[in-house]
């Protein structure tokens, strides 16, 4: 008999691979069970449905990453350190686990309730940073939501381009460029 925790990890690993390869809607319980080398019934003992499994993978990874970012950013002193950390974390995370980041980027729209509810989302973390650290004459000090959208858009689009095979470079190869572009866009050079 298999260890329950090991079985869950194998189900999640197999599902993640299939969700990235085929998409959630095109992946069946049978596909996941075969890949994980388990019976279909075993899958249902651990997860209510394929969609609940996809949601669990998304929420676990998303909360882990955003909480780590928010806590580290809160401990850093300067605006440059805080924003550089966010970009660096995303670049290293993408390069270190492209499959998981691909899944997160593809699922973010269908899982928006978890993003919107999370007080430590990167979006809300950036709003707090902009409100506290941007100079008074910077438009994003007074419209931090817009600044957060622009900042996230620049950095996440670089990941999306890699998901769709538009560039072969690693994210870290573009780190300095992404940092300059994001800083320029929010008028802090």
DSSP 57-120: HHHHHHHHHHHHHHHHHHH--SHHHHHHHHHHHHHHHHHH-HHHHHHHHHHTTTTHHHHHH-TT
Q: Which two tokens stand for residue 40?
A: 């279909």
pTM attached to this predicted model: 0.90
pLDDT at 25: 94
pLDDT at 154: 97
pLDDT at 1: 42
Average pLDDT, the chain: 93
* pLDDT tens column, 97-132: 999 999 999 998 888 887 888 899 999 999 999 999
- Residue ranges, the chain, pLDDT below 70: 1-2
């Amino acid at each position: 008999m298999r260890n329950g925790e090991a079985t869950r990890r194998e189900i999640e690993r197999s599902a993640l691979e299939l969700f990235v390869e085929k998409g959630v809607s095109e992946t069946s319980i049978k596909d996941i069970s075969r890949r994980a080398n388990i019976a279909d019934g075993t899958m249902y003992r651990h997860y209510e449905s394929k969609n609940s499994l996809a949601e669990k993978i998304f929420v676990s990874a998303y909360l882990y990453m955003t909480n780590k970012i928010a806590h580290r950013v809160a401990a850093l002193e300067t605006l440059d350190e805080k924003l550089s950390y966010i970009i660096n974390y995303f670049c290293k995370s993408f390069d270190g686990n492209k499959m998981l980041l691909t899944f997160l980027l593809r699922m973010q729209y269908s899982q928006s309730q978890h993003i919107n509810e999370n007080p430590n989302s990167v979006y809300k973390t950036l709003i707090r940073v902009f409100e506290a650290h941007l100079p008074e004459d910077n438009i994003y000090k007074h419209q931090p939501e817009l600044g957060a959208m622009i900042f996230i858009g620049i950095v996440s689009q670089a990941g999306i381009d890699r998901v769709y095979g538009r560039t072969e470079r690693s994210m870290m190869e573009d780190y300095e460029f992404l940092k300059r572009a994001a800083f320029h866009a929010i008028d802090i050079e």
